[in-house]
Amino acid sequence: MSKSFLLFTIIVVISFGLWVLYASAELQRFTQPCKSDGSLDFLVVGDWGRRGEYNQSEVAYQMGEIGEKLDIDFVISTGDNFYDNGLTSDHDPFFEESFTKIYTAKSLQKQWYAVLGNHDYRGDAEAQLSPFLREIDCRWLCLRSFIVDAELVEMFFVDTTPFVQEYYTETEHTYDWSGINPPKSYVSNLLKNVELALKESSAKWKIVIGHHAIRSIGHHGDTQELIDQLLPILQANNVDFYMNGHDHCLEHISDTKSPIQFLTSGAGSKTYRGDIQEKGEGLKFYYDGQGFMSVQLTPSDAKIEFYDVDGNVLHTVTSSKQLYSSF
């Protein structure tokens, strides 16, 4: 082997290594345009994929109605996209049976941004990340963690399932950890990436989306791992809203140590009536039936509404930001 070829090989390897280090230090970023007036409207739904059963189709219908009324720009899914055990592959017909053929309203033919839930990890988790699904239905975009930059708001999607320690030891179900090994390093790097991205964000609004609740009085309750590891980062970086699914309910809890509002939208299909823990501090609203959530944003105001399966508004959250003029 010539010295010049050897030197070229070393340079290529080093350059590739630097590229890998750089790529791993940033979350993938997508751009979502606002309306011409600078506003943004979207829906949030979670825990839904059941071939239309358990009122999934009825919730989808009302989402279409509200979506048309608000002229929504996109939809967010908070995970547990396909029950009970995710997809078997990126050719699984369950994808079309529970997504494409259910959310058929014209207003819902917009981009969908989705995270994985614990039930998604029980199947082939990487199937939902496959570009092939976007060939089947171009609305679908699901990644482990990523950022959507919509000008006045940045949305940080966080893969929360690997945080939860009980999933690594339970014997009733198996989880597909193939894309995140070793989990400890994966979670550590993810936290660093999220913290860096939040610190660098200059967006008027900051929203973090994950599957698991940080605070909840529903069946699963608080997620202690997120309280210990993720919440301090959100509190230190002026996050406005944390949105999640996991508990099959609609819920609003205010953080007691920061302005963060915890908003659960995990009622896209099957729910459990009366499955509620002792009411905790900061609880503003709880509903144990099916439904979804809408978000309306302007540079100065946020309005969030929770809807039931009949399209009735159950609870409204408002927040305002002071606009300063420069002279």
- The binding site for Fe cation consists of 47, 80, 83, 118, 211, 246, 248
Cβ atoms of residues 307 and 62 within 8 Å: yes
Half-sphere exposure of 66 (CA within 13 A, CB side): 30
Strand (E) or helix (H) holding 70:
helix 56-70
Report the C-alpha gap between 90 and 93 in whole angstroms: 9
Q: Please tell me whether residue 228 adopts helix, strand or coil conformation.
A: helix
CA distances from 219 to 45, 115, 163 (A): 18, 21, 18
Per the annotation, where are the binding residues?
Answer: 47, 80, 83, 118, 211, 246, 248
The per-residue DSSP string of 93-133 comes to THHIIIIITT--SGGG-SEEEE---TTGGGS-GGGGG-HHH
- Out of 212, 219, 220, 315, the active site residue is 220
Residue 205 sits at the vertex; the CA angle it makes with 138 and 285, to the nearest 5 degrees, is 90
Q: How far apart are CA 147 and CA 28, in angstroms?
A: 6
Which distant-in-sequence residues (6+ apart) come within 8 Å of 321 by Cβ?
A: 204, 205, 299, 300, 301
Helix (H, G, I), strand (E, B) or coil at 276: coil
Active site annotation includes 220: yes
Active site residues: 220
